[in-house]
Structure 1
């Protein structure tokens, strides 16, 4: 299949085209992972303002389906499209999804997510297959080629959140989606420019007479999955209506879990129906799937629970950082700030009795009634009207606090309760509605014009009166109109990619050294080590919870850095080993299905990443991280118990 001589020292030309194609696509993907929860739950910078549980549900389901669809995308490429066209179709779908998300409105947002999920299903499995197809069987350059390709993934992941932070700080949420969409277009252009050079990595689509056809997959997996998923969803809705659904569980999460039951049954039957020679290897995949699913449940807390920890519990004002990667610490930041952290001057804030008016201001969806109400409650403020598209000659400190205004009757505000009984406020506008202008509320303080941020009375009291009651003195104040500059919370997710790049050669060298000394670890032992390190990373975060006084105060970013360092070493021990074992323990006729099983196990874990992010606020940080450490520890114990048999099976199949 390859079009280069396998004896040459260099790599096939197509490798570098695939490297950059993947790098740009991963930049877009990890941009979404980094900001999805922040955007859906944001109430101060023009986000969607959803409750935390709903935002985490969307995050978990998005990542779950992103890892479910490659199971189908690989089969469609094999039988109908070929790999190059499948990757191109995937890139087009993902770019379209990101541009849809850049249009205001929840419907466009959800349609965009669907485009990303479908596109990833075509893109993710097939570009990796193309890398492998560049090399003939037995080519010694193959492993190094995958290492180079994997580096492209992590460069994209490293840059993603740095780019996202800079763009959203300067231009807002929607431009972040647009820039990520442009990244996908660059990815497509690279692919198209090297189309002929990549012909050797492609294959003509054909049906495999020994493989499971799409009709079999549809009848035995997809149709039952959809039926069970719908059953679980409507059952959970009924339970929720009668107050019987456990706290933190949401109908969509329950539906997904129910939908996985036929998948589990299918793979159990696959093992039962295998020949005596094949059955031990297939049975040995169970602990590998369990370990992989659990690990990715923890790792992909990076976009849910760990991002919430970075946002709400990490002191982000204590490090020098590039200005474009910092944002103003708006009022909610100071609720858990340390005692000596200066607070905004009260004259920098406007106060309203109706929390819905404060929410409308924060989500930048005001109407004339809200503008009038805010002005009436703060008679010392001036209302400055601004055009939609430019600064109207106003200084930056005023522009920074401006909010969009819509005609009366356009903005809808609905108040309710979430599954925990907490009050929710949903501020929405119809699809395609355009603001008529913007307004800024300003106050003249000591000869300076100050742009005012609007808060409700409860938040204002927590910032000042409650502070004095707790510490016995008034807080140190910032100059009027100024806020602390803090690092964006999504920046910390880039630590995982940074540590992958930094630790990979060190870990490879360490394992090679152990092997030379006759103390090398088996593949199964590396899996166990990865799970032990994952448990240790969560125990480290439970200590951070102790230091945070139950989440009452922010702690150093080094706790988060330590978590990502330890869990990344666990990733390097576990993830490559898991992928390798799936291919080694499976008969060739079933590799596509069992690799799909690995992705499905990952999808299962990802759904729980969103679930645990949703219940994080219901527990103390110590209890939350100890719960997760306990789950990871149980899986590590299970791996230890099956280790001898797993080692023996792996050796039997040449692993």
Structure 2
């Protein structure tokens, strides 16, 4: 696999694999953890019990900020730290943050842990991608750059595939904290692997000299994040002053604050382009429209951790046939539930808690929430009275456990996308290699446009799912989720690694990590929109509305890139040959 590629590629491949193991393990259970209430069957496994919209708000803010901080991390690596040092700092901070989430409770420690992950990712994410690109600056490897990024991307998804099985086993067997701790340990493994192979990436870790007109780091940070803080404050306070208490522009105060704060950061990149000249101006000007267009992709893609996780949890049949149960149990992917009545929170049709006369969530006796949209005739029998005893004999415990309904753990659906990436990457790379031999390979921007069009098609699979399940009144087949993940993965392979490769190739040499930060800024804005759209999932009368919005956004973005292709090709031919 690594033949014809630099020796540093396997070092970065496995470092990123472990980093993505931790990142996607946390992401796969994050929404589930926040929504799981105090009525969980086993108290030790209880989550935070947050309302769906509140959880979506936190999810969207987290996933947005985690991709906004690469702006700072890329800049500091470009000018001061160097890429390898920034990667080590970022990895350690993320490992500490994941481990901190193992401490239960919704308090300061929860938010401090998220902050460590957010800052750590800012140091790690843009700089490991920059190192990959720099490895291919040598003429010997230049033609293999796109293929190198595809291989690197496969490493990301091996980690993303394996992690959810680990998460399912640990949270089902021991509790949420153990799963989060595993994410931290995985991150520390990644840092250790990177340190052992640093000599193979030394040639790619070269700070580029600045030009006389380049702004100092402190001036850039003050010029960008000073105004960003002001705009965030305006976004937080102004809407309620104008429209009345509780009124917001984008659904919540945090949404307003974040999206307002992105305005001066976006303005910085516009001024960077306007203030450049000659080759720099043309290179930056070719990248900025692409940054804008791919926002639509990330707004759709990262709904996998919220809206699609909710679909998997509430609206997908997850019963495991007895013949398959031993295999899935061996990899820790089984969640057990029974129909015994217990105190649960009453929710409306959208999963929001119903408040009682005292203003607190109302409770009632009912079955596990999984059975809410399963006909009672299909419910398994309730557990035997002996199963309710405080102390069970080993024989009784085994009997009661066997009588429970065995479900596929919700987070395992997060591994479907990663599986398809690992499975399909050789075919996609081989297909484009075949096209290249025939001199018909699409340009990198054309591949991104194709990726967006395929992403639009993936959302139509979920539109069909909402109608087949009568708007969620019945549970649907898992094949709907598998199908939508399969289609969007093809779009992802045409877009995400190609985008990383293009930023690496087209950025001015001394601004590579800063422009990589711009790529992650568009990812950040898209991610925040994914949280906003996922929040709408519980508000629209028909759940297809969100997926139709996704379809329209991806299709428009694809068409915009098609219109820009002549200009993009001209710049690429001029400077990249």
Same fold? TM cut 0.5? yes
Q: 2:158 corresponds to which residue?
A: 155
Render the CA deviation track for 1:481-514: whole Å, top value 9, x for unaligned: 5432111111111111111111111112222333
Segment drifting more, 264-273 vs 617-626: 264-273
C-alpha distance in 1 between matches for 2:232 and 2:355: 27
The answer as to 2:27 corresponding to 1:40 is no
C-alpha distance in 1 between matches for 2:314 and 2:243: 29
| 1:573-592 correspondence runs (5 A) | 573-592=494-513
Q: 1:272 corresponds to which residue?
A: 274
Preserved contact between residue 51 and residue 424 of structure 1 (Cα < 8 Å) = no
Q: Secondary structure at the match of 1:274?
A: coil
- How far did residue 200 of structure 1 move? 4.3
Alpha carbons of 1:510 and 1:199: their partners in 2 closer, same or farther (altered >3 Å)?
closer
| 1:15-54 correspondence runs (5 A) | 15-43=9-37, 44=40, 45-54=45-54
Render the CA deviation track for 1:17-57: whole Å, top value 9, x for unaligned: 33332221210011111111111111234000111111111
- How far did residue 463 of structure 1 move? 9.9
Render the CA deviation track for 1:387-442: whole Å, top value 9, x for unaligned: xxxxxxxxxxxxxxxxxxxxxxxxxxxxx99x9996469xxxxxxxxxxxxxxxxx
- How far did residue 226 of structure 1 move? 1.2
| 1:324-339 correspondence runs (5 A) | 324-329=332-337
Q: 1:261 corresponds to which residue?
A: 263
- How far did residue 306 of structure 1 move? 0.9
Alpha carbons of 1:276 and 1:178: their partners in 2 closer, same or farther (altered >3 Å)?
closer
Q: 2:96 corresponds to which residue?
A: 96
Q: Secondary structure at the match of 1:618?
A: coil
Preserved contact between residue 248 and residue 256 of structure 2 (Cα < 8 Å) = no
From 178, 183, 188, give the equivalent of 2:186: 183
- How far did residue 632 of structure 1 move? 1.5
The answer as to 2:526 corresponding to 1:605 is yes
Preserved contact between residue 293 and residue 560 of structure 2 (Cα < 8 Å) = no
From 464, 471, 478, give the equivalent of 2:381: 478
C-alpha distance in 2 between matches for 1:191 and 1:583: 21
The answer as to 2:254 corresponding to 1:252 is yes
Render the CA deviation track for 1:576-611: whole Å, top value 9, x for unaligned: 332333344443344333222111111000011111
Q: 2:316 corresponds to which residue?
A: 314
| 1:492-531 correspondence runs (5 A) | 492-531=413-452
C-alpha distance in 2 between matches for 1:14 and 1:521: 28
Alpha carbons of 1:21 and 1:488: their partners in 2 closer, same or farther (altered >3 Å)?
same
| 1:175-254 correspondence runs (5 A) | 175-195=178-198, 198-203=201-206, 211-236=214-239, 238=241, 242-245=245-248, 249-254=251-256
Preserved contact between residue 463 and residue 548 of structure 2 (Cα < 8 Å) = yes
Q: 2:293 corresponds to which residue?
A: 291
C-alpha distance in 1 between matches for 2:25 and 2:200: 29
Preserved contact between residue 316 and residue 486 of structure 1 (Cα < 8 Å) = yes
- Return 5+ residue gaps in structure 2 as ranges: 357-361, 385-402
C-alpha distance in 1 between matches for 2:411 and 2:243: 33
C-alpha distance in 1 between matches for 2:30 and 2:574: 44
Provide the aligned length of Structure 1 versus Structure 2: 536
Q: 1:445 corresponds to which residue?
A: none
The answer as to 2:530 corresponding to 1:623 is no
Alpha carbons of 1:138 and 1:558: their partners in 2 closer, same or farther (altered >3 Å)?
same
C-alpha distance in 2 between matches for 1:9 and 1:513: 18
Preserved contact between residue 11 and residue 194 of structure 2 (Cα < 8 Å) = yes
Preserved contact between residue 37 and residue 303 of structure 1 (Cα < 8 Å) = yes
Structure 2 length-normalised TM: 0.84
Preserved contact between residue 531 and residue 570 of structure 1 (Cα < 8 Å) = yes
Structure 1 length-normalised TM: 0.75
The answer as to 2:420 corresponding to 1:487 is no
Q: C-alpha root-mean-square deviation of aligned residues, in Å?
A: 3.2
C-alpha distance in 2 between matches for 1:295 and 1:538: 11
Preserved contact between residue 211 and residue 590 of structure 1 (Cα < 8 Å) = no
Render the CA deviation track for 1:55-108: whole Å, top value 9, x for unaligned: 111111111111111121122223333333222221221121122211122221
C-alpha distance in 2 between matches for 1:154 and 1:551: 30
Q: 2:396 corresponds to which residue?
A: none
Preserved contact between residue 236 and residue 250 of structure 1 (Cα < 8 Å) = no
- How far did residue 237 of structure 1 move? 5.0
Preserved contact between residue 335 and residue 409 of structure 2 (Cα < 8 Å) = yes
- Return 5+ residue gaps in structure 1 as ranges: 1-7, 331-343, 352-357, 363-415, 426-454
Alpha carbons of 1:158 and 1:47: their partners in 2 closer, same or farther (altered >3 Å)?
same
More helix by share: 2
Q: Which has the larger radius of gyration?
A: 1
Render the CA deviation track for 1:169-199: whole Å, top value 9, x for unaligned: 1111011111111112222332334455554
Q: 1:139 corresponds to which residue?
A: 140
Preserved contact between residue 307 and residue 490 of structure 1 (Cα < 8 Å) = yes
Q: Secondary structure at the match of 2:335?
A: strand
Preserved contact between residue 130 and residue 504 of structure 2 (Cα < 8 Å) = no
C-alpha distance in 2 between matches for 1:155 and 1:58: 27
Preserved contact between residue 292 and residue 575 of structure 1 (Cα < 8 Å) = no
Render the CA deviation track for 1:211-254: whole Å, top value 9, x for unaligned: 442123213211111110121112245568624336x7110111
Q: 2:565 corresponds to which residue?
A: 643
Segment drifting more, 568-577 vs 169-178: 568-577
Preserved contact between residue 80 and residue 206 of structure 1 (Cα < 8 Å) = no
C-alpha distance in 2 between matches for 1:15 and 1:278: 28
C-alpha distance in 2 between matches for 1:566 and 1:208: 45
